[in-house]
Structure 1
Amino acid sequence: MVDAKILVIDDNKSVLSALEILLQFEYKTVEAISNPNQISSKDLKEVDIILLDMNFSAGVNTGNEGLFWLREIKKKASNTSVIMMTAYGAVDLAVKALKEGASDFILKPWNNDKLLATVKSAFELRKSRQEIHLLKKKESSLKKVINEDKNYIIGNSKALNTVLNLTRKVAKTDVNVLITGENGTGKELIARELHKTSKRKDEVFIAVDMGSISENLLESELFGHVKGSFTDARENRIGKFEAAHKGTLFLDEIGNLSLQAQAKLLSAIQNKAIVRVGANKTIPVDIRLICATNCNLEQMVTDGLFREDLLYRINTISVEVPALRERDDDILIIADFYLKRFGNKYDKPSLRINNAAQEKLMKYQWPGNVRELLHTIERAVILGEGNVLKADDFILNNKSTPSLGADPKTLEEMEKQMILRALEAHDGNYSAAADQLGVSRQTLYNKLKKINNG
């Protein structure tokens, strides 16, 4: 017996009795009513299938009454399957009922086997609708989780407000945006702000750190793959482009791509379609593309390390995020925000920073920008004693910008100086610096991350 609730509505009591007898052996709950006005007292969302007569008044066979009650049912329970019943086999009436939302119709007198088959199909349709509704709710919840950003754009400086004003103007369009700026300035936060204020805000935001993906896996990560396309491809997998369909795709550290990967990315952007690794089928994608880098892409184009046509594609609008040292009193505003956050996290809610410590924070150049300030505040909260944080509680990583002429005391300092010297010699060009040092771009990128995170 199927665990389902069926409601039969017909003014002919013999019809109601016959259907109750027929259906009670197949379905757990069968209820019959002779007056459609009783519908208003029923919780129709709990009903799986309704068998509804098309005519209730004597001598009337237009079907208008049934169509009226069909509309009323659909207003209250759009996913409930409704089967129309009529003694008149007019095709145009049946078609009209289907257009109004009926799942099917049966003619009186009916064939029992055919009626049971029709009801079974209607129940399967009802289950499918419920599953689709549940999937949509899960998808909506998942998008909220993915789009959740626990960091905020904090500050009120002129430099920051200029960027935010530009961001809000650009967000209304679908143009590709290139965000530039030093490490730790908050380029991803600007990308998320673009997404949150765009017409795609209710869709997903997918962020990809291009520098952390190895070259041989990059195509699969971006475009997906089919089962068996390479050794570890044990199942079909969608890539980041497909995952971001209808939403925003953020490609961070775009300057780390090889020329071969750049060509494939350019093709996907131009064609607005991708092909999974190992497949031939073209899959259209609709995304808002935002890229970010701390590299000088124009210089990389001159050096033959970045495709000029790709730069034009990703750089319709350019947004330069200012360094923290260019944002005036934002330093203290940000420090106070994270002081409260970490104070609550580590059960020290009454902390404050004294004047000498504030002056120390303001004078520092913050080579690691907001990210470095965040880590500095957290360390001070953890290690500080009492409710007032003093200048000595803030350990500023002056080693992060060492004098290039200073003698290194450890292998770690020597490696750091070599990396900084190489980057300075090549004006921040990661690829050229990596070639000089004899390492891959990814290795250089990972080492820099370790340096900046202190």
Structure 2
Amino acid sequence: MLDATVLIIDDDDDILLSARLFLKQQVKQVITCKSPKEINVLLSKNEIDIILLDMNYQKGASDGREGIYWLEHILSIDKDYVVILMTAFGNVELAVKAIKKGATDFILKPWENEKLFATISSASKLRESTKKVKKLEKIHSSLQKDLTRGFENIVGQADEIKQLQNTLLKVAPTDANVLILGENGTGKQVFAYEIHGNSQRKNQVFMHVDLGSLNENLFESELFGYAKGAFTDAKEDKPGRFELADGGTIFLDEIGNLTLPLQAKLLSVLQNRTVTRLGESKERKVNVRLITATNMPLNEMVSKNTFRQDLLFRINTVELLLPALRKRGTDILLLANHFMQVFSSKYHKDIRKLSNKAQEALLQYKWPGNVRELQHVLERAVIMSDGADIAEEDLQLSPQRYAQNNAIPDEMALEDMEKMMVQKAIDKHKGNISKAAAELGLTRAALYRRIEKFGI
């Protein structure tokens, strides 16, 4: 049986009945209707793969003009629809015209069942091929930033990191939902990608979605997609991130920033494993592995009714808590050497090591921006270095952020620490949001949300 939904449009009840009785044994679903005027509604409510379209509807008509009109109308909705035209009046010239207008094939009534099945089977293969190509094109377009960025492997020998790696290797081969917690810059995306890379879905797409940078009005269209005409600028159908990630992994970063209404919409998709594009009513099944991350205290947010408990249960089958860089000891030097090698190669420099004073400075520094800050510091140091070694002055570390001058109590709440970091960045840059956001490794939108959250 073919995994296809076939729509048959013909004004003859006998034709509809005979086609439905035969094809329901050959394909997944058969939908019939007598008038092409129902096409818009049927296409918006159903995921149609193949359309069998009669060419004449008015009594006595035989020139096929109606069929050509409706063919053009269907292809204006989506040029990738597979349309097979049907007529009782064989005409070579009409068949050629129909193919030129975009029809996939042309059959005569009454048909032989074997011929009809062969035509449907070929059309089904074409539809599947077209859908795969279209999905790959959309994925390619959506993933340019991640493809050019590349990913680092997990680097570290601290006990906490070794334990996390052991847990990762146990969890990755499953489809369990994973919630990754940790301060900004601790490497949540790197861990998410490592989970995907060690999973059964590793050869499929890894879709990263930064919820913190998504405008609330764009949430549904970006994640769930939209139909042509759903809003003013919707000039073509567009699948959302969930559809593009079908078969692979979707990583929802900064999930703690979602408002309660958006949490409800996301929960519905996760429970039903279906998405509905804006402007449509039909549901589309999606098969994705879910990984989420946040630096916010979700359990506290649940107690304050700012995060749904049922959504938290849904996303944290397994929970990973990433340690702050300041708690990872000599991992700081391992990471620093790793980044030094990466950027030395990138900028074509022959830098061999960190000086002793540079190493001491790296170990004494408190790293409020964690691994991301260390990465930026080493990139800048490689660029600024004139010799084979990176000197302390090449690091350009901020003096007030050394441990002895600016110690942060370990017992300080994560939220209080984040507020302090945001406030210091804003003060340092005298209210310049762009510069403060860049230092913190946030988007402007994400920083504005934190300013509002902390009442700064």
TM-score, with normalisation over the residues of structure 1?
A: 0.60
Q: In the TM superposition, what whole-angstrom CA distance separates every residue of 1:3-50 from its partner, at most 9, and x where no partner exists?
A: xxxxxxxxxxxxxxxxxxxxxxxxxxxxxxxxxxxxxxxxxxxxxxxx
Query: For 2:180, what is the secondary structure of its paired residue?
Result: strand
2:448 alignment partner AA: T
Aligned-pair CA distance for 1:350: 3.3
Cα deviation, 1:244-290, whole Å, max 9, x if unaligned, reads 11110100000010111000000000111111111100111111100
2:207 corresponds to: 206
CA 1:346 to 1:136, structure 2 compared with 1: closer, same or farther past 3 Å? same
How far, CA to CA, are the matches of 1:216 and 1:376 in structure 2? 36
The alpha carbon displacement at 1:196 in A equals: 0.9
Q: Does 1:328 align with 2:333?
A: no
Distance (whole Å) between structure 2 residues aligned to residue 409 and residue 197 of structure 1: 37
Q: Which amino acid aligns with 2:389?
A: V
CA shift in 2, pair 1:245/1:366, >3 Å = same
| Contact 1:340–1:349 (8 Å) recurs in 2 | no
Match of 2:449 among 417, 439, 444: 444
1:189 deviation in Å? 0.8
User: What do the CA deviations read for 1:209-254 (whole angstroms, capped 9, x no partner)?
Assistant: 0000100001111100111111221111100111111110100000
Counterpart in the other structure of 2:162: 161
Shift of 1:131: 6.6
AA matched with 1:218:
F
Q: Please tell me the residue identity of whatever aligns with 1:443.
A: Y
Q: Distance in 2 between matches of 1:410 and 1:262?
A: 30
Match of 1:181 in 2: 182
Q: Does 1:276 align with 2:281?
A: no
Question: 2:198 — aligned with what?
Answer: 197
1:67-89, Cα deviation, whole Å (9 max, x unpaired): xxxxxxxxxxxxxxxxxxxxxxx
Residue 96 of structure 2 is matched in structure 1 by none
Secondary structure, counterpart of 2:238 in structure 1: coil
Identity %: 44
User: Which residue is 1:228 aligned to?
Assistant: 229
User: What code does the residue aligned with 1:261 have?
Assistant: L
Please give the secondary structure, in 1, of the residue aligned with 2:387.
Answer: coil
State the 1:150 CA deviation.
Answer: 3.3
Structure 1 position 381 matched with structure 2 position 395: no
Secondary structure, counterpart of 1:202 in structure 2: coil
TM, length-normalised to structure 2: 0.60
Aligned pair in 2 of structure 1 residues 294, 355: CA closer, same or farther (>3 Å)? Answer: same
Offset at residue 360 of structure 1 (A): 0.8
Structure 2 alignment gaps of length 5 or more: 1-114, 407-419, 437-441
User: In structure 2, what is the Cα distance between the partners aligned to 1:160 and 1:409?
Assistant: 28
The answer to which of 144-153 and 266-275 deviates more is 144-153
Residues 357 and 276 (structure 1), Cα distance of their counterparts in 2 relative to 1, 3 Å cut = same
Q: 1:307 to 1:398 in 2, by over 3 A?
A: farther
Shift of 1:202: 1.3
Say whether 1:344 aligns with 2:349.
no
Query: SS state of the match for residue 358, structure 2?
Result: helix
Offset of 1:308 from its aligned partner? 0.9
**What's the secondary structure of 1:340's corresponding residue?**
helix
- Give CA deviations for 1:65-123 in whole Å, capped at 9, x if unaligned: xxxxxxxxxxxxxxxxxxxxxxxxxxxxxxxxxxxxxxxxxxxxxxxxxxxx9xx98xx
Counterpart residue number, 1:171: 172
Alpha-carbon distance, 1:303 to partner: 1.5
Does the alignment pair 1:370 with 2:375?
Answer: no
2:253 partner letter: D
Aligned length: 310
Cα gap change, 1:161/1:447 in structure 2, threshold over 3 Å: closer, same or farther?
farther
Letter in 1 for 2:296: C
Measure, in 2, the Cα distance between the counterparts of 1:133 and 1:311. 34
Partners of 1:178 and 1:316 within 8 A in 2:
yes
Deviation of 1:400 after TM superposition, in Å, equals 6.8
CA displacement at 1:353 relative to structure 2: 1.0
- Contact kept, 8 Å, 2:351 with 2:390, in 1: the verdict is no
Matched residue, 2:317? 316
For the aligned residue pairs, the C-alpha RMSD in angstroms reads 4.0
Residues of 2 paired with 1:133 and 1:302: CA distance? 45
Cα distance in 2 between the residues matched to 1:371 and 1:299 = 26
Q: What runs of 5+ residues in structure 1 fail to find an aligned partner?
A: 1-116, 421-429, 431-438, 449-454
Post-superposition offset of 1:200: 1.0
2:353 and 2:390 in contact (8 A); partners too: yes
**1:347 to partner: Cα distance:** 2.5
Relative to structure 1, is the Cα distance of residues 286 and 130 closer, same or farther in structure 2, using a 3 angstrom cutoff? closer
Deviation at 1:333, TM superposition (A): 1.0
User: Aligned with 1:164: secondary structure?
Assistant: helix
The answer to whether the 8 Å contact 1:212/1:442 transfers is: no
Partner of 1:299: 300
